[in-house]
Structure 1
Amino acid sequence: MNKLLLISLWAIATSSISGDLNNTQQLNAPLEITQTKVEIVKDPVKELYDEMKLQGIIKWDAFEQAMQGYNHLSPKNKNIMTIIDFTLPSTDKRMYVLDMKAKKLLYHNIVSHGRNSGEKFATAFSNKHGSFQSSLGFYYAQETYFGGNGYSLRLDGLEKGINDQARPRAIVVHGADYCSTDIIKSTGRLGRSYGCPALPRELTKPIINTLKGGTLMYIYAGNKDYLASTKVVKKHPLESPSTLIATQHEEETGKSKTVLN
């Protein structure tokens, strides 16, 4: 009887030790690590922005939106792209002329806005005749001519209801005495135009000669009404626009908003 009891206890102890050893072996076994390859999708627009060293010079939003138009529209001359940033005061250099082929900034200068768009800041925009306000969006810089403001450059607005009246309104690039650092020093801001992007006299000819012939210009203001109306700039840039020309906005907005008539 005692022998049988001892044998039973030995069998139980052996089974327990064997189970513990198996558990220990399982715990000490090397872990199998499954490696997942993560593919990083590079943004070519961001790469270009970095390559051109535009950080701290041109706002990313302004550049990214301009590039949407550059990629989706069909400018005759894609070597040059111009951005005007009306989120900045007229005392700042807010016009950028980019050489897209050489990937460098050619001009960075002051530019005037329309007299009814605001004083130091441009906050109101219109497509209306007689508004004397600037218009936002995409333009083609076309042919040159000599007029009342001297050597000038005609602009064609590409977005219906937003800036398509630019040519009939005679919205052009031209030089102006009121666009100068001397005016800034004396008045605290630039003088204003009838809606044209006016340049310093000394830069007028070289800039116009660079822009003429069908290059793309984008006038940016971070304006919510423009962004709600444009069919060129998308909230998600990788999404292709179904149509590239904006349809007319249904409501006329007030001050500090884009008037789309």
Structure 2
Amino acid sequence: MNYKLLPVLLFGFFSFITPTKNTTDPTYIATSTKTAFESKVFSLYNNLNSNNFKIPQLESFSKALEGFYQLKQKGLIQNDILTLVDFSLSANSKRLWVIDMTTNTILYHTLVAHGRNSGEEFAATFSNKSESFQSSLGFYLTGETYIGKHGLSLRLDGLEKGINDNARERAVVIHGADYVSEKFIKQNKRLGRSQGCPALPVELNQEIIQLIKEKSCLFIYHPSRSYKIASKLIS
């Protein structure tokens, strides 16, 4: 299978629904669109090139794709890399994936920290407020790089009002941290936590930042009911 064609096919699925009844019926259109999307997601998921990494769960992957293609359709995404963070998983497990959407290939799978006030081993509470020291869920566009107290760092722009749109004001960025490591987990029985930033292992920080910078999509997932209600990007 030509993996390079899969995202194109998914992006264009709205245009290729075969009508079997009155396609002006809003209920029929919505149902057909949802079915077509789910079919495309399932195909992409089953054909993910894992690169010998563990693949993400279908639920988080599906939600990530739903937002990715909406943002792509709006012309916001210029770098076809999808970074998926699954905060439903233990902080002691690798829960960040970097996926090349042009080839449907997982490029990185690594540890990532959540905010110190979001929870201990598991993230449970989230906030968009300054000084909350909690993580924020939802979709982001990656911005520009800069050198800060953690070295090379990447600014993030939250795209969901009331959920993560204060990310830049809060200085929620991607950066490396020595508390994001297997060594730290062994010494402390859990991964270290940030002030709300999705911090990465120091040894991978520069590679990942250089790959995903400048308007790629980052999605931080959690099966939070309040997020599902508030989000305008996913159903």
| Partner in structure 1 of residue 223 of structure 2 | 222
- TM-score, reference length from structure 1: 0.72
| Partner in structure 2 of residue 170 of structure 1 | 171
| Partner in structure 2 of residue 156 of structure 1 | 157
| Partner in structure 2 of residue 68 of structure 1 | 66
CA distance in 1, matches of 2:54, 2:207: 25
| Partner in structure 2 of residue 203 of structure 1 | 204
Deviation at 1:43, TM superposition (A): 1.1
| Partner in structure 1 of residue 57 of structure 2 | 59
- 1:34-53 matches, cutoff 5 A: 43-52=39-48
Tell me which amino acid in the other structure corresponds to 1:44.
K
Query: What SS does the aligned partner of 2:227 have?
Result: helix
1:137-171 Cα distance to aligned partner (Å, 9 max, x none):
00001100001111000000000000000000000
> Does the aligned pair in 1 maintain the 2:49–2:104 contact within 8 Å?
no
Deviation at 1:75, TM superposition (A): 3.3
| Partner in structure 1 of residue 29 of structure 2 | none
Q: Say how many residue pairs are matched.
A: 196
Tell me which amino acid in the other structure corresponds to 2:169.
P
| Partner in structure 1 of residue 80 of structure 2 | 79
Tell me which amino acid in the other structure corresponds to 1:51.
N
- TM-score, reference length from structure 2: 0.80
Query: What SS does the aligned partner of 1:143 have?
Result: strand
Deviation at 1:63, TM superposition (A): 0.7
| Partner in structure 2 of residue 14 of structure 1 | none
> Does the aligned pair in 2 maintain the 1:78–1:100 contact within 8 Å?
no
CA distance in 2, matches of 1:81, 1:161: 22
| Partner in structure 1 of residue 232 of structure 2 | 231
CA distance in 2, matches of 1:53, 1:146: 33
Deviation at 1:76, TM superposition (A): 2.8
Tell me which amino acid in the other structure corresponds to 1:174.
H
- 1:1-261 matches, cutoff 5 A: 43-52=39-48, 57-73=55-71, 74-234=75-235
> Does the aligned pair in 2 maintain the 1:75–1:216 contact within 8 Å?
no
CA distance in 2, matches of 1:63, 1:224: 17
Larger radius of gyration: 1
1:76-98 Cα distance to aligned partner (Å, 9 max, x none):
32420010000001100000000
CA distance in 1, matches of 2:116, 2:54: 28
Identity %: 49
Query: What SS does the aligned partner of 2:169 have?
Result: coil
Tell me which amino acid in the other structure corresponds to 1:228.
I
Query: What SS does the aligned partner of 1:174 have?
Result: strand
Any unmatched runs of 5+ in structure 2? 1-34
> Does the aligned pair in 2 maintain the 1:96–1:108 contact within 8 Å?
yes
